[in-house]
Amino acid sequence: MYNRRKLLFLTILIASIFLFWLSSQIHSAAGSVPDLASAKDEVYSLIDSGQITAAAEHVNQICSSYSGDPQLPMQLCLIAERYEEADSIGQAKALNTRIAADFPESDYGVYARLQLAKMSIYELIDARNYESAETAIKQMTVDFADNQNLAKRLWEIAHRYDKIATRYDERVAFDYSKALCKKVVDNYPEDEYSTYASLLLAKLKAYELINAGDYESAYSIVTQILEDFAGHEQLPRSLWEIANRYEKFKASGYSKLLCEQIVADYPHDKYARYAALQLAESRVYELIDGGNYEAADSNVSEMLEDFAGHKQLSRRLYEIAEKYSRNEAWPYAEALYGRIAADYPKDKYGLKAKLGVSRTNVLSLIMSQDCNQAEAALDKMVADFNNNPYLAEAVLIIGLQCHDGGLSKENQGLTEQARYRFEKAVEICDRVINEFPDYSFVPEACCRAGDCYYKLGKQEESIQRYQKVIDDYPKYEFAWHAQFMIGYCYEGLKNSGVVEKSAADAQTKAAYEQVIQNYPDCEATEYVRSWLAGGRAEKEK
């Protein structure tokens, strides 16, 4: 009996030792996975905080330290996606290139190659080279026809079109986004990203109605979206983007209503916090518009405390500073620009805010009609910020604000003050055209200069600026306006007797026919068709 117990004890002891050893071996073999995952999370933190160079260095360390780990390609793919989420497309592309080269035969290598194709298309879209982007999309659908991730990638490209369309307010980019979404819905009806594409299509429909000023119908689309896509992970984001669209078109009531709904219905989604920040900004706007600048400043201080660390805070603060500037509340604008520049020295809006301080000084001098000091201050701004990437934009904003100020004074019946501001707008817009010829908003400067010259009764100078848009920037989104205004200016020259009637009518007819031919759906079409019909009728008589 004793020997049996002894034998049983020894058996259990040996089994326990063996199980302990086996467990330690399993944990030892798997030990690199949590370590690798932790290293990946460190890279995530660096990317999220904008430390892209440091993140790249950590990626190199990970590749060296875990070169034999079977989890490495998957973790690298996740890091590449994080780069993409942060819009660090260059780093995402570099890492996917590395994955495709190091793991060419694996599923992750194929995944990386598809990502690379998509990112090359992103670069074409970002450059607004839409025809080449469409060609690349067709090639991608051929090369990866059987890839299970293709529908998702096409949806992401459609979203990229949407992003660029929103940034530049380009109808053609919205059209490409819609077409690609329809392709996903039609060709991949069983894929989950067909639903994503349907949601994006619905959002774009709301955009179209908002663009047309039909805010109520757009909100009916929102109601339908809430019903059709309840529970969809992209729903809070889509609602927030529609709220932004309302905000862009000055439909603040609808924007506010939608943001309040997002905060109430999706309190734990990150876009609820985005919406809350937008609501805080709108409250500040209301106070500024009411001239209650001290209360607005107090609310800004609360925003700084409540939303510290929010990735959109610098942008929202900058927009508030711009609002102060547009309302000519110069001390408040200058103070807020200064704070943004100090708190976000390397941020996009920090760089813009540095210029904002100088720009505020220039504008305040212009509006006080201290012309010599204003010109000297503008020259100093151009010299001091010669290497700032937002210098041309800052100069243009001065011109645009002078133009808007001229319209405001004109509406108030203050003719001389309006004329002075239009004259300053022309000077500054012409400076943008001449000194920053490669700046992407030169066509806008041309159009605004043309508009101001027209207001000043100088139609011939207007025609020159508008013609530059037609000749050099025919794809500019408001090229139709320039083409229309050429004809309209000739009408004015005829009426004032500067150009003989038959010659003016011929020039007007030629310009208006180009409107119909090249911009058949533009806002001026109805007027142009009416004029051309009247012109033909008169000729037939």
pTM over 0.75: yes
Q: Is residue 536 part of a domain?
A: yes
Average pLDDT over residues 283-297: 96
Examine the domain organization and report whether 481 and 458 are in the same domain.
no
Closest Cα partner for 163 from 269, 84, 219?
A: 84
Query: CATH number for the domain including 428?
Result: 1.20.58
**446 and 505 within one domain:** no
Q: Would 517 be classed as within a structural domain? A: yes
Looking at 439, 467, 495, which one is the last position of a domain? 467
Q: Quote the domain boundaries for residue 426.
A: 390-467
**pLDDT (0 to 100) of residue 48:** 81
Last residue of a domain, one of 467, 494, 517: 467
Residue 514 is assigned to a structural domain of this protein: yes
Average pLDDT over residues 104-122: 93
At 167 the pLDDT is 83
DSSP string for residues in 12-44? HHHHHHHHHHHHHHHHHHHTHHHHHHHHHHHHH
**Across the chain, what does the average pLDDT equal?**
90
Q: Is residue 225 part of a domain?
A: no
Crossing angle (nearest 10°) for helices 479-495 and 501-518: 160
Residue that finishes a domain, picked among 449, 467, 485: 467
| Collapsed DSSP state (helix, strand, coil) of residue 447 | helix
356 in a domain, yes or no?
Answer: no
**501 and 520 co-located in one domain:** yes
Q: In total, how many domains does the chain have?
A: 2
Residue 497 lies in a domain: yes
Same domain, 416 and 444: yes
131 domain residue, yes or no: no
Q: Tens digits of per-residue pLDDT, 361-391?
A: 999 999 999 989 999 999 999 999 999 999 9
- Please state, in angstroms and rounded to a whole number, the distance separating the CA atoms of residues 525 and 522: 6
In SS3 terms, 142-177 reads as HHCCCCCCHHHHHHHHHHHHHHHHHHHCCHHHHHHH
Residues 489 and 440 in one domain: no
Other Cβ atoms closer than 10 A to 497? 9
456 and 481 housed in the same domain: no
**Contact status, residue 226 vs residue 262, Cβ threshold 8 Å:** no
Q: Note the pLDDT of residue 269.
A: 95
pLDDT of residue 30: 43
Report yes or no on 441 lying in a domain.
Answer: yes
Spatial separation of the C-alpha atoms in residues 226 and 236, rounded to whole Å: 10
Residues 434 and 460 grouped into a single domain:
yes
Please check whether residues 483 and 452 belong to one and the same domain.
no
Percent of the chain with pLDDT over 90: 77
Cβ pair 439, 364 in contact under 8 A:
no
Same domain, 453 and 404: yes
